[in-house]
Homo-oligomer: A and B are copies of this chain.
């Protein structure tokens, strides 16, 4: 059964990859017509499984399998259905499809909890520059998003109305207060599991992150006629900062620090740069650690700038707290993998996920599936068939263990 169901998961991901706004690519931003095609396909599968399906006020697809137990709480399963431009076929979608596959794997077995498979309408933040509009609706914080405008000037509110939905129904999109929790299966989007040679990993936490720009302002001068001791070289100061960032991240377990953008002005080979702007992206699973590292790095940047008579301006762009995954759910994932004799290393999620939003209201956990070439947000993004099979097996075992726990508690 598992092999056939694994193939059905992959076939469904392939079929959904054809729902796109730009032919030849997978490009499916928030509340676009191709999202309706995705919904239609998944509705069919849900109906065949005896699930009831609705689309909530922000466009999330929600299919429920009701428990026969009176007042049973709900376990939420899923991920997101939107994509970045020219995306791969698995980021987000895999976790939603696996939700339906897990219900199919139950083969009609009744559980002491209801299951709701969630296909979030918006996670990537492409259309409105803000992520997680879909999952925010479930924790009751999507109202703040309604006034945001896309590049064409259309607000979230207008987009919702154009999609045939209504913002007045936002309250009905919220998750139930007695929810059992949320499990999200997602491709890793990185090289850790591939490097370890394992199919799956249990996420310990979703990192917190700071993003900022550093502007170094010195003075442009002639590369030949300005001796080293009379320079105010903005790029020389920035280079020391970049080295400090790499050094600190290498010596601090779990820290990543990245300078991804740099611009040096005036930008001619024979002129000492007078002004440099570069980015800093710093992430760690512990907020106190991240804050301490950021403080240390900015102090070093300031010191290197001052040593060159260069002025440093720091422009914060974004700060997000870390989200530890729920200990009991993490343990359930470990135990489920152990039941199947599968390795189950823990790893940090360096990227944001809907699970960090859901964790604000209920126990949340994530299971990562190996990314064989570590490509993310790229058309060549891939998964191994056997790894998807492992995810399905561990997911099913998770449902069974959770059911056993619930039954034990009920006694």
Q: List chain B residues, Cβ under 8 A from A242.
A: 235-236, 239
Assembly CA distance A224 to B207 (angstroms): 8
- Contacts A224-B283, A236-B246: A261 and B256 contacting too (C-beta < 8 A)? no
Q: Is the CB of B192 within 8 A of A227?
A: yes
Q: List chain B residues, Cβ under 8 A from A280.
A: 269
Q: Is the CB of B261 within 8 A of A262?
A: no
A243: which of B239, B262, B376 is its contact (CB, 8 Å)?
Answer: B239
Q: Is the CB of B269 within 8 A of A261?
A: yes
**In the complex, the 10 A-B pairs of residues with the closest C-beta atoms, listed nearest first:** A190-B225, A224-B350, A269-B279, A239-B242, A223-B258, A225-B350, A224-B351, A260-B269, A223-B281, A189-B225
A209: which of B209, B224, B249, B281 is its contact (CB, 8 Å)?
Answer: B224
Q: Is the CB of A221 within 8 A of B191?
A: yes
Assembly CA distance A374 to B270 (angstroms): 15
Q: Is the CB of B228 within 8 A of A256?
A: yes
Q: Is the CB of B256 within 8 A of A227?
A: yes
Cβ of A408 < 8 Å from any Cβ of B?
A: no
Cβ of A401 < 8 Å from any Cβ of B?
A: no
Q: List chain B residues, Cβ under 8 A from A171.
A: none
Nearest CB in chain B to that of A248: its residue: B228
Cβ of A82 < 8 Å from any Cβ of B?
A: no
Q: List chain B residues, Cβ under 8 A from A316.
A: none
- Other A-B contacts than A190-B221, A192-B230, 8 sampled, CB-CB below 8 A, are A191-B225, A223-B258, A223-B260, A223-B283, A224-B281, A258-B271, A260-B271, A269-B280
Assembly CA distance A213 to B268 (angstroms): 12
Q: Is the CB of B260 within 8 A of A272?
A: yes
Q: List chain B residues, Cβ under 8 A from A224.
A: 190, 207, 209, 256, 281, 283, 349-352
Q: Is the CB of B281 within 8 A of A262?
A: no
- Contacts A211-B270, A228-B246, A242-B235: A222 and B261 contacting too (C-beta < 8 A)? no
A238-276 interface with B by 8 A CB criterion: 239-240, 242-243, 246, 249-250, 255-262, 264, 266-273
Interface 1/0s, chain A 200-221, versus B by CB < 8 A?
Answer: 0000000101010100000001
Interface 1/0s, chain A 59-82, versus B by CB < 8 A?
Answer: 000000000000000000000000
Assembly CA distance A380 to B240 (angstroms): 32
Q: Is the CB of B190 within 8 A of A227?
A: yes
Q: Is the CB of B226 within 8 A of A374?
A: yes
A203 to chain B, nearest CB (A): 11
Q: Is the CB of A222 within 8 A of B350?
A: yes
Query: 15 interchain pairs (CB within 8 A)?
Result: A188-B225, A190-B221, A190-B225, A191-B226, A213-B269, A222-B377, A223-B260, A224-B349, A225-B351, A225-B376, A226-B374, A228-B255, A262-B262, A269-B317, A270-B281
Q: List chain B residues, Cβ under 8 A from A317.
A: 269
- Contacts A242-B235, A242-B239: A374 and B221 contacting too (C-beta < 8 A)? yes
